[in-house]
Every structure is written in structure tokens, then in C-alpha cells.
Amino acid sequence: MFENNATKRRPWSYRKSGGNGYPAKTWQSNLNLTPEQVAELMLKRPELRLADSKANLELARILIAAPDDAYAQELFQLVARDGLGKAIVAEDEFLGNYPPKENGISYPSDFLPLGTMPTGDLAGIIINQLTGNILLIGRTKSAKTSLLTVLLSYPQLLQTVRIVVFAKKREIRDLATTPQLRDLVITFKLEELALCYFQPPGSVPETAWNNESTKIFGQCYARYSAQRLMGDKVNELMANHPEGVYPTIRQLLEVLDKFRPRFGMREAAYKESILWCLQDLLNCTGNIWEYSYSDFLEHLYCQPGLCVIEAEALPQEHLTFIAVYFMRWLYLKRIYSGWKSQ
């Protein structure tokens, strides 16, 4: 772990590469740590939690100034070994990321506590920062849904922001039976949605939405090369549509099906690629895209609360497509109109 001037021993890593074990022997009591090694332990080894104690900070300062102090060397190495032992027992990848103990963390008024860190401080989220992205990952059966349910059970959160959950499990709908949340939770089956994909959000120019709707499709289904062909057909459909009436995904499918590219042209492969995705999407989602006009999303985002959309049997690529569509619709709405949605 450390390189001593006398032995020039190769440093050990904190964690063995590719494994979950720790070196069995890291310190040798008969070797003195150099000032550089002390600084490395304090500054580059947060998992040891040495900075949690002011006494450790003072001890490190003394040892850097007087590296030949045998008593300081022995005490500091005992403290460092103790920190390593606790890190091994904790088996916590984030042990070094927790704030120092008793550091007087100041929580804002809209802070929602979700748990307690090993330091004793609360861990949670700040409501007004939810416009950013939160990633919740974990192994199967690692309680991701349980943690999400705890987060969504706070009335203060649901009274402030609109949260849309696309669920493949039915547990989240049970929140609607909680008395204090009853009026804040609505649940939809997938087939109950009413969407008009090519209808732009209010204040968003049609040309901008044509481009965006084509990109959403190309990115979600990895049909990047076919975006130009699809975009051309979308522009054709949108060029002469009646006021307040917009093309549907099925109409786009029909237009593409009638398209006859010349023999040997790449458009033939692009056409088949797009047709397969569109047809499979319609087969898996029923009639939710058969609307030429819809204000479903306008009403959905106009007030706070929890909206649970259950799609248990929907393939993941189609679920991703719908979720991205919901997000990008709201994003462009905000950009072009400055709409203050929840």
C-alpha cells in the first residue's frame, strides 16, 4: 500500500483489481510513513474516514512535520488500520462519500429524508432539485421498488410536483389506498392512454416537433440511418393536415408501406426497418396512438400528483419509447413557452 524510502516496496491498492477482497497485510509496524504517504491517506483514501476526527487531522499534521516521531507513527498507523478494518467489514462502496460525522449539515425546508447514513446524518432529496435526473439502480430483488414506494409516499412531494411512473409491477398502485395520498394518485392501464404522437405541444412549432418526434423514434429503436426517410414522410403528412387534426402513427405506417424505392437503393432497407418497428409498436400498444387530436398530456402535466401507468406486458423497447416521448414532450413545451408545469 505504501512506498517506504528504505524498501521501495510497491504500493498496494485499497481493493484488489477485479475482486472484492482487501490485502491481508497492508501496514508493517516497523516501517515509518513518509509525509507523502500520510497526505495520501488523508486526502486520497476517503474510505478510511480519517478526516472524521479533528484529532486525526492534528495527528497527521504532527506526523508530516515530524515523520521520525515514533509515538505519532504508531498511533497514526493504528488509527489507519482501524479505518481499513471498518471499511472491510462495512463492504460499502460509498463509505468514503458520506460527509464527516457531526459536521452540522443544514437541510433546506423542502428536504425529504429517505434514510440514515452510517454517520448518523439523514439522506434524502431536495424537492426543488427534482428537475434534474435521479438514477436508481440495483440488482434484482435489491428493494428498488420498495425505496421508490417510500419516496412516493410523502404527501409533501406529491403536492408539489407531477410524477409519472411507468410500472411493470402493481405494488405502486397500492399508494392510492393510503388515506393521505388518495386524492393525489391516479392510475392508468396502458390501453387507457389517448395520445397523438405528431401533435406538437402548445407553442412548439410544427417543424421543430416533426424533427423531435423523428429523433425520438430513431434513438429509442436505434434506427439512426432511417431517420431521414421517416422525417421526409412525416413532413409530407404534416404539410397539408387540417387545422386541429394531425396524422397518426398508423397513417405514417401506411404512407411508408406505399413508398416504392428504386431497386438497389438503401431506402428499401430503411423502409423495412421502420415498418417493422411501427407495426410492432401498434400491435403491442393497441389503440392508444389512434387519435388525431389529444389533450391528454396537457391535462396530465397541469397539476401535481402521482400518475402511475401500468404496462406489465409491454416490451422494454416500446416502454422506453413511450417514456421518452412523455419526457421530450414536456421538455419542448417548457423551452418554447416557458410553461411553469409541475
pLDDT digits 0-9 by tens, 158-210: 888 889 999 888 888 888 888 889 889 999 999 999 999 999 998 899 999 99
Would you say residue 112 lies in a domain? no
For residue 197, is it within any domain? yes
For residue 229, pLDDT over 70 is answered with yes
Phi-psi bin for 314: left (phi > 0), alpha (psi -120 to 50), beta?
beta
Residue of 23, 76, 83 whose CA lies nearest to 48 = 83
Out of 74, 97, 120, pick the residue that ends a domain.
Answer: 97
Give the model's confidence band at 78: pLDDT under 50 very low, under 70 low, under 90 confident, else very high.
Answer: very high
163 and 306 share a domain? yes
**Contact by Cβ (8 Å): 145, 172:** yes
The answer to whether residues 178 and 290 belong to one domain is yes
C-alpha of 191 from chain center = 26
Tell me which residue range forms the domain holding 256.
151-342
Residue 106 lies in a domain: no
Is the model's pLDDT at 216 over the cut of 70? yes
Residues 87 and 205 reside in one and the same domain = no
Tell whether 185 and 314 lie within a shared domain: yes
- What phi and psi values does residue 26 have, to the nearest 5 degrees? -115, -45
Pairing mode, strands 111-116 and 122-126: antiparallel
Average pLDDT along the chain: 84
Q: How far apart are CA 312 and CA 169, in angstroms?
A: 6
Query: Percent of the chain beyond pLDDT 70?
Result: 87
pLDDT in tens, 130-153: 766 667 777 888 888 888 888 888
Judge whether residue 5 has pLDDT over 50: no
pLDDT at 291 over 90: yes
Q: Do 171 and 315 lie in a common domain? A: yes
- Residue-level pLDDT at 248: 95
